[in-house]
Structure 1
Amino acid sequence: MNDAIKPVVDWLLERNPDIEEIPEDLDLIENRLVDSLGFMEFVLLLEDLIGRELQLNQIDVDHFRTLRSLQHHYLKG
Structure 2
Amino acid sequence: MTEQIAQETTAQGIGVIEQWILAKHENRTDIAPDEDLIENRLVDSLSFVEFVFLIAETSGQEIDMDNLDLADVRTLAAIEKRFLPH
Instruction: Give the TM-score normalised by the residue count of structure 2.
Output: 0.83
The root-mean-square deviation of aligned C-alpha atoms, in Å, is 1.3
1:13 aligns with 2:22: yes
Percent sequence identity over aligned pairs? 36
1:24 aligns with 2:50: no
Instruction: Give the TM-score normalised by the residue count of structure 1.
Output: 0.91
Give CA-to-partner distance per residue, 1:12-67, whole Å, 9 cap, x none. Answer: 00011111110000000000000001000001111111223211111001111100
Distance in structure 2 (CA, Å) of the matches to 1:45 and 1:4: 10
Long gaps (5+) in structure 2: 1-9
Larger radius of gyration: 2
Report how many residues are paired: 77
Aligned to 2:79: 70
Distance in structure 2 (CA, Å) of the matches to 1:74 and 1:49: 9
One-letter amino acid of the counterpart of residue 53, structure 2: L
